[in-house]
Chains A and B, each alone.
Chain A
Amino acid sequence: MSRLIREYQVVVVGAGHAGCEAGLACARLGLRTILFTVSVDSIALMPCNPNIGGSSKGHLVRDVDALGGEMGKNIDATFIQSKMLNKSKGPAVHSLRAQADKQAYSNQMRKTLEKTPGLTVKQGEVAKILVEDGKVKGAVTYSGATYRAQAVILCTGTYLKARCIYGDVSSNTGPNGLQAANHLTNSLRELGIEILRFKTGTPARIDGNTIDYEKMERQSGDRQVRPFSFSTKIEDIQKEQVSCWLTYTNEKTHEIIRQNLDRSPLYSGIIEGTGPRYCPSIEDKVVRFADKDRHQVFIEPEGLYTSEMYVGGMSSSLPEDVQFAMYRTVPGLENAEIVRNAYAIEYDCINPRQLNPTLEFKSIEGLFSAGQFNGSSGYEEAAAQGLIAGINASMKILGKKQITLDRSESYIGVLIDDLVTKENKEPYRMMTSRAEYRLLLRQDNADLRLREIGYQVGLVDKKDYEYVLWKKEKIQEEIHRIENKNIGVNEKVQDFLGKNNSALLKSGATLADLIRRPELNYEMLEELDEGRPNLPWDVKEQVNIHIKYEGYIKRQEKQVLQFKKLEEKLLPENINYDDVPNLRIEARQKLALYRPVSLGQASRISGVSPSDISVLMVYLMAK
């Protein structure tokens, strides 16, 4: 029987947040790319929370944008509320979060995909990966069509053998009732890939017309919105924003949950997957934090196209009748009508230690993977991996050097290093505490950190790159000027200080000295700073941060120097750990299993001790 056979260079499986970035990166780098999705109406779908960004996730979006990814631009075009979180804290933890109009977000991404030359979007289920002699050759769809390619990028999200569950109801579908992908897992197993089963969940959606907002606290967006993308002009995105709402669970809610715990599929054993601790269901919270008499509930709009509201903080897999009773105990939700029930979802994913930090499988050349398939969770984590997988698949085909970001360069580096190096027993979420050099990995300097890499790869155009070079120069010049600008003791200065509750000067100081005072900053000191050059806001922001936090930043830079040293010692690909004398058995086994790229990565594998690293160093030298 004859079947369709097509030739591409890259096949991307899945068009969620990872797949879209991967597909766009490959096509933009000039490769003929086909992007498969089970439904072209669900491109860049947001099946859970209706927002992009948030603590540390906002950083990921910025990093993606600086490298030439799409997520930041897409949310800038479709957000309906935006807020910089942690504004009262240090600059390292400022984090942008925007509520999205889900449909607009999806449509916008679809348009972008469709108008990208060299990118084909195709509805269909990929059922098999073709591999010959350890090299990927393409993919075969459930319908039997063959798509030959030099690289395949797996971004299957939560769709592999997906099962949605609440109470005793379970259906073999992906999120939102979409068709699951039931065939690919077997093909992957046949290729020797280790499969895990993870679980996550989402709360109910409620008809906004049945909510009494009077009983809730309004949560508004920022008066001046900051864009995610470095290419978006700040003045282009100021617009009217919608509100979110805050309410709380209470003893009555908890009572209903406690009485019905035995009906939860977690307890009855219907759910086998491992769930995330950072995203506990409301029943989990009630059990684990029994002493808390209330939990926050955030009511967030799903978009401007609908009155549906997302009930943040109350994800659940309790039966339908319990959900109905439980949601109605919350102030403002007494008469709530549920549009979509809360559910838990189980899916197949891989153990990511099978991947190189480039996101290519160690054992199969040309096979890459990204997103929830790699055991992560979250739209932003997915996009970040998708971009890296797309870039590296392209670099491989183009015969160029693949990229790996390290932990001191980007949150993306932290994310991928954690995934491929540490033991992950639950879906992995980015957190600011995971980044040890976070003072350097700020969301405000993502362009300074990563634009150059994006430019070298070919995803950032020359104009954007040259702007960053110019910006760096301006920052240095201005810092130098401020450090050397003397402020004498005079009436104007003392008046200014008094007015701003700052200690009066006893002798002269530099402008930098004053900026370092917690109650003052670069912007405020303009009136004492005659001849200040006219600089764009993003340059001023960098100058202020650099001067204010100089001591801390220098300390972290020193730590990074130490860190890099081990990172730069590469381990040969063909190293046989049985040949290395003096390694402890546990270390030998772990090293053979993870096959780290560098001594630095080896040192982060649990079970590998500092003395094992010393032993490895000596062995390396013998090579």
Chain B
Amino acid sequence: MYTDTIAAISTAVSASGIGIIRLSGPRALEIADRVYRSKGKIKKLADVPTHTIHYGHIYDENEIVDEVLVMVMHAPRTFTGEDTVEIDCHGGIYAMKKVLDTVLKNGARIAEPGEFTKRAFLNGRLDLSQAEAVMDVIQSKNRYALKNSIQQLKGSVKNKIEKIRKAILHEIAQIESALDDPEHMSLEGYAEHLEEVLKEQQGEIRRLLSTVADGKVIQEGIRTVILGKPNAGKSSLLNVLVGEDRAIVTEIAGTTRDVLEEYIHFGSAALRIVDTAGIRNTSDLVESIGVDKAKEQAEQADFILYVSDASVPLDENDFHIIEMIQDKQAIVLLNKSDLPAQVEAEKLAALTKKTVIPISAKEESGFAELESCISSMFFQGKLDLPEDIYITNRRHKGLLEEALESLEQVQESLDAGMPEDFYSIDLMNAYEALGGILGESVDEDVIQEIFENFCVGK
């Protein structure tokens, strides 16, 4: 039996009506009881009969998170063969995320892709046809998750994690070579040195974790940037997109009153529109943030909406943007189609080699075409599935927290005056957790590092 309890969102993360958070493992009932309160606040899920449904609320300490239906299923008659609790909450990213966060905070661990199936298999709960069908999904999800985590990790985050790992590995090798060759290597005064390294690396991990809260690490939708020259109509486009008729799933508030991001759902595809504050506060993104910044944003985006003004001829700004979107998934919106046209859709399509949709933000026309265009890009796989990005990133966050916890454990061992070989146990756990983010296995790393950097041997 597995000894830990896992949790994940088991429905697509979208604006659908209901979302299910599934908990599985020996502590599933106990964890559910920690977050669930029935109407009379007396009922304990641990006491209710198996395969029953219960109404109530999920609480994060004393704050209500969501109104839910909870299904309790005892092992072994469950999908995984373990004790399982399913929490039906209100759909939508925000609600599901909150409920998931709450159960994670109370002792569950985020599930790896395919982990429910793996457990079901190990507990003998799947027959072949079921397993094969599920495997196909795992395979594609794995591929997707891998691609996604690499995408997300390109650049600075990846470098930073690699640097932290390197620092940790060096310490492990130092300790291990001294243990292997105690007469050649001494660890005198090592504890103080390690303490410094720990402080520094814990700081690095905390900094990474703090970016999670900003939403820089957690991505929950297709990262979308709206580009356009001054007065092209970006902000009126945004207003139409997030207006009454379109579902705003959530807003992540920044430290200022400005809304930094907006979520827009088109069917099962969620767009996360970045730096909306820039669009709202000034009428001109390119001008306010500068061409370089716009370019950087365009580079990081998974998807670009380029708003072109049909009423005035193309200028330098437009050509800059056209260059930026060359290698990107993008749609060109020819705005102000209600006014006499200075720019022709065909000409713009030839220039950009993208789909051009004439719209009028003012008259709210052309949006049905936009929606079906995004949906079809999504189904053709040109745009990435949002729920997997979400899970992958939750996984990253979980692994970062695990690494941090392990380093804290090392500090505890130091404080408790434990001998040096205990440090390397938790250092190794931290190293492995960080390796999980990069998709790297550990295997011979320590041995390599010892031989490379420490002169050992008879």
Listed in ascending order, the chain A residues whose CB lies under 8 Å from chain B are 48-49, 55-56, 85-86, 88-90, 92-93, 276-280, 285, 288-289, 292, 295-296, 298, 312-313, 315, 422, 431-434, 438-439, 518-519, 549, 552, 556, 558, 561-562, 565, 569, 582, 604, 606, 611, 614-615, 617-618, 621-622
Contacts and interface: CB of A to CB of B under 8 A. Distances in A.
Given A431-B447, A621-B128, A518 B417 contact: yes
Nearest to A569: B122
Contacts of B230: none
A220 B172 CA distance: 29
Given A277-B451, A432-B176, A86 B182 contact: yes
Contacts of A292: 455
Given A552-B425, A614-B138, A615-B135, A89 B443 contact: no
Interface string B91-134: 00000000000000000000000100110011000101001100
A438 B135 CA distance: 35
Contacts of B138: 611, 614
B449 to A, nearest CB: 10
Interface of B: 1-3, 114, 117-118, 121-122, 126, 128, 131-132, 135, 138-139, 142, 172, 176, 179-184, 416-422, 424-425, 443-444, 446-447, 450-451, 455-458
A89 B183 contact: no
Contacts of B176: 431-433
Contacts of B184: 296
A48 B457 CA distance: 13
Given A433-B446, A562-B2, A296 B114 contact: no
Contact of A278 (B117, B179, B444, B457): B457
A483 B329 CA distance: 65
B447 A295 contact: no
Contacts of A422: 443-444
Given A296-B183, A518-B416, A278 B421 contact: no
A561 B3 contact: yes
A537 B416 CA distance: 26
In this complex, the member of B2, B114, B131, B443 whose beta carbon has the largest number of chain A beta carbons within 10 angstroms is: B131
Contacts of A606: 443
A582 B3 contact: no
B440 to A, nearest CB: 11
A618 B135 contact: yes
Contact of A618 (B131, B182, B418, B457): B131
Contacts of A615: 135, 139
B426 to A, nearest CB: 9
Given A292-B455, A617-B122, 18 more contacts: A55-B179, A55-B180, A88-B419, A89-B421, A92-B421, A288-B455, A296-B184, A298-B183, A313-B457, A422-B444, A433-B424, A433-B447, A518-B417, A556-B425, A562-B3, A604-B443, A611-B114, A621-B126
Contacts of B455: 280, 285, 288-289, 292, 295
B329 to A, nearest CB: 27
Contact of A279 (B122, B417, B418, B457): B457
Contacts of B139: 582, 611, 615
Nearest to B420: A89
A422 B447 CA distance: 13
A434 B422 CA distance: 15
Nearest to A48: B458
A292 B458 CA distance: 16
Most buried by B among A89, A279, A617: A89
A296 B183 CA distance: 9
B457 to A, nearest CB: 4
A315 B458 CA distance: 8
21 contacts: A56-B180, A89-B420, A276-B457, A277-B451, A278-B456, A279-B457, A279-B458, A280-B455, A280-B457, A285-B455, A289-B455, A431-B450, A433-B179, A433-B447, A439-B425, A518-B417, A549-B422, A558-B3, A606-B443, A614-B117, A614-B138
A569 B444 CA distance: 24
Given A431-B447, A439-B425, A519 B417 contact: yes
Contacts of B444: 422
B458 A49 contact: yes
8 nearest interchain CB pairs? Answer: A518-B417, A433-B176, A90-B419, A277-B451, A89-B419, A90-B421, A279-B457, A289-B455
Contacts of B126: 621
Contacts of B458: 48-49, 279, 298, 312-313, 315
Contacts of B416: 518
A93 B421 contact: yes
Most chain B beta carbons < 10 A, residue from A292, A296, A312, A611: A611
A439 B451 CA distance: 23
B282 to A, nearest CB: 47
A439 B417 CA distance: 17
B182 A55 contact: yes
A288 B444 CA distance: 20
A93 B185 CA distance: 14
Contact of B132 (A85, A86, A89, A618): A618
